[in-house]
Structure 1
Amino acid sequence: MSRTAASYPRLGNADIAELTDWRRELHRHPEVSGEEAETAQRVQAVLQATGPDRIVTGLGGHGVAAVYEGSAPGPRVLLRCELDALPIEEHTKAAYRSTVPGKGHLCGHDGHMAMLAATARLLGRSRPARGSVVLMFQPAEEDGSGAAKVIGDPGFAALQPDFAFAIHNMPGMPLGRVALTPGPSACASRGMRLRLIGKTAHASQPETGLSPMPVLSKLMPALTALGQGGPLDDPGFALATVTHARLGAPAFGIAPGEAELFVTLRSLTDGRMEQLVSEAEALVQEAAAAAGLEADITYEDVFVTTTSDADAVAIASRALDHLGIPHGRDPLPMRPSEDFGRFGAGAELAFLLLGAGEGRPALHNPDYDFPDELIPTGAAIFTAIVDEILGAPTT
């Protein structure tokens, strides 16, 4: 049976102080997607001190997982956070601000790591009654590549969970309030990279070349028109956003022969994404062929929809009720994407937003900083979820 709220293991003041210092050390040394080697070493060291049954490293790149076994067979519960920072210059006055030019923990992943490291301390002191817990520190969330690489890693097969949970901080929500809901929680998205290829010419004789300018000018509004948003409770929600365009060389004597266009495609469901991709590709190919241009299309930053399962949401909701933490649906589902959705293959999944306070800078803003007071809150939520599924140790 699960513990009462009063009997959950709790972090002491010394724990909180040490974890806060550790979070700030991570904040000083941000590493972006695929480069998280030193961050992974710091994570491994803090996990080793909690006495896990085993630690797995190098998952999908720099991923680290710690496993805590219960005393009897049972389900496996995966709790996940992210290792990577953003390629954004930090503009805060914090004493622990980033020491790496052009990079910063401006999405709060340093705080997520601290919450999971706090959970590791609690699990090290009090194992579940049965089953096992996997604490997954995932690389490369920000570019959408990390979860797929972790899941595809041969070392992950022995860690395949029955349940998976993740918490993401969210400024704009009241501090400590949680949002969760069954169904889609975060949108699917992908970056469509389009290259149009024609032929350059002297700027005095543009008719002797083949400029992609007319097609580029046509495609920007046409692609945008394929998805113009709408309410997020509509399964047909779709959004196409032009994020970058380039035409030819920065010169006055050359009529352009090549152009590049970046478009972010976004949808509430994976099915709608397939439709949106098909529509976008058909539009590009038709416009390019009519103008005699070659068109090359590739995709980057591919995220699937993060869909929370009703059973996992019910488990998390009970845990929050035991803790007395207020929760509801808003602001889910959300337009941003989240790499966590891929862990739902073969597992019951729930994605939670944890309020970081109203009136704070938004995620990915250059002045955002994770509120340290959420470290024990996140650990308490994770611990209560584990108890709901695996039960407290018998005494």
Structure 2
Amino acid sequence: MPLSSANLSALVALRHDLHQHPEVSGQEEQTAQRIRAFLTTLTPNRLVGQLGGHGLAAVFEGSAPGPTILLRCELDALPIQEKSDVAHRSTISGKGHLCGHDGHMAILAAVAMTLAERRPAKGRTVLLFQPAEEDGSGAAKVLSDEAFALLAPDLALSLHNCPGLPIGRAALKSGPVNCASRGLKIEFTGKTAHASQPETGLSPMPAVSALMPILSGCSKGTQADPDFRLVTITHAQLGEPAFGIAPGDGQVWATLRTLTDDQMEALCQEAEAAARKQAEISNLEVSFSYHDVFHHCENAPEATAVLARAMDACGVNWDSTGLPWRPSEDFGRFRRLCPSAMLFLGAGVSCPALHNPDYDFPDELIPLGAEIFLNALRELLG
């Protein structure tokens, strides 16, 4: 059932409102309230809030027993200043919906509109608006929430917009589609000294400067290779910004990326060993902490086939171009619960890249994304 012009206008207005009021991971309270207000008018059978934080799920039930199908999108925005002249640009300084999560929410809102008019014949659909995807913590918190156990799906589906692919095209494949990643913070501790007598202290400068190229040298292959690994130095710091003090502490931040979870442990051990060696050379203490931990996303064959048939039914041209993707996605955690799959929907060849300050989700993807999901639901639930 195609969206009416009135419904499409309402969805675009919702997307623009969400875009103007971005909230970062763990702070999506007002975003969830906006979504709840929209969904309440559609009278789902249940609305479950505060999932894993500010997460929200709308449940639409069929009249006969059947499987539970979960469709998932994300609530959070990014801590990046938007640089755009669109009328609906962010009104919050330093924050922006620069990954398209506002559009993903609008797509699930479009699905909810259709389900409100025609419930599934059997089973139930769970529309999950998940918090905190960008820092990798949201899916884990939702899955560990006792309230989510009552919504546990038999199959989970998701999508992400993909700049660089033409609008109307998509990428899909079974197997790994998003890399595992985690942030490694390495902290060296020595001893400060007066800048006129650096020899009386223990500076981490040699360790920091030596370690960065060593870590970068751990990278190898492309994301299509089973043993792919990439280390990206994202931040480094020495002491305090002062001319009179020789530094006594330093930090190196690096993002570690591998195709699969199995490869990540080996890369972590190699990075830590390299840091320990430099600490030993300079007689420093060293410590490690991990942040923004993402498991790799792997599409199950049966879930992938559902999405493939759903796209075929609405004439979307698709192949596996660009997959697997280097960027990470915490949707990968759902595969430990049930078969799951994510597709990548073209946002246009000239669309700015994700996380760029001038990115804006294309509104024309809202009805297309909804139609794909609705085709999948019709096959599975009638």
TM bracket (short chain): over 0.9
- For the pair 1:359 / 2:350, whether they are aligned, the reply is yes
Tell me the residue number matched to 1:5. Answer: none
* TM-aligned CA deviation for residue 259 of structure 1: 0.1
- For the pair 1:155 / 2:147, whether they are aligned, the reply is yes
The amino acid across from 2:263 in the alignment is: R
* TM-aligned CA deviation for residue 10 of structure 1: 2.2
Tell me the residue number matched to 2:89. Answer: 97
Tell me the residue number matched to 1:66. Answer: 58
- For the pair 1:331 / 2:325, whether they are aligned, the reply is no
The 2-side partners of 1:103 and 1:385 are apart by 34
Give the alignment's TM-score, normalised by structure 1: 0.95
Tell me the residue number matched to 1:146. Answer: 138
* TM-aligned CA deviation for residue 113 of structure 1: 0.4
* TM-aligned CA deviation for residue 82 of structure 1: 0.5
Tell me the residue number matched to 1:235. Answer: 226
* TM-aligned CA deviation for residue 368 of structure 1: 0.9
The list of structure 1 runs, each at least 4 consecutive aligned residues, that deviate by more than 3 angstroms after superposition, is none
Give identity over the alignment, percent.
Answer: 58
- For the pair 1:135 / 2:127, whether they are aligned, the reply is yes
The 2-side partners of 1:281 and 1:124 are apart by 53
The amino acid across from 2:368 in the alignment is: T
* TM-aligned CA deviation for residue 265 of structure 1: 0.2
The 1-side partners of 2:176 and 2:119 are apart by 32
Tell me the residue number matched to 2:69. Answer: 77
The aligned runs of 1:188-199 (5 Å cut-off) are 188-199=180-191
Aligned residues: 382
Q: Of residues 54, 57, 65 in structure 1, which corresponds to 2:49?
A: 57
The aligned runs of 1:1-395 (5 Å cut-off) are 9-228=1-220, 230-390=221-381, 392=382
The one-character-per-residue Cα deviations of 1:308-340 (angstroms, maximum 9, x if unpaired) are: 011111111111111111111111111011111
Q: List runs of 5+ in structure 1 lacking aligned partners.
A: 1-8
The 2-side partners of 1:143 and 1:114 are apart by 21
The one-character-per-residue Cα deviations of 1:372-391 (angstroms, maximum 9, x if unpaired) are: 1111111101111111222x
The amino acid across from 1:14 in the alignment is: A
Give the alignment's TM-score, normalised by structure 2: 0.98
The 1-side partners of 2:170 and 2:62 are apart by 28
The 2-side partners of 1:213 and 1:87 are apart by 30
Tell me the residue number matched to 1:3. Answer: none
* TM-aligned CA deviation for residue 130 of structure 1: 1.3
Work out whether residues 188 and 204 of structure 2, in 8 Å CA contact, stay in contact via their aligned partners in 1: yes
The 2-side partners of 1:149 and 1:135 are apart by 17
- Aligned to 2:185, the other structure's residue is in SS state strand
Comparing 333-342 and 275-284, the one that deviates more: 275-284
The amino acid across from 2:45 in the alignment is: D
- Aligned to 1:73, the other structure's residue is in SS state strand
The 2-side partners of 1:18 and 1:56 are apart by 23
The 2-side partners of 1:337 and 1:214 are apart by 32
The 1-side partners of 2:174 and 2:5 are apart by 35
* TM-aligned CA deviation for residue 286 of structure 1: 2.6
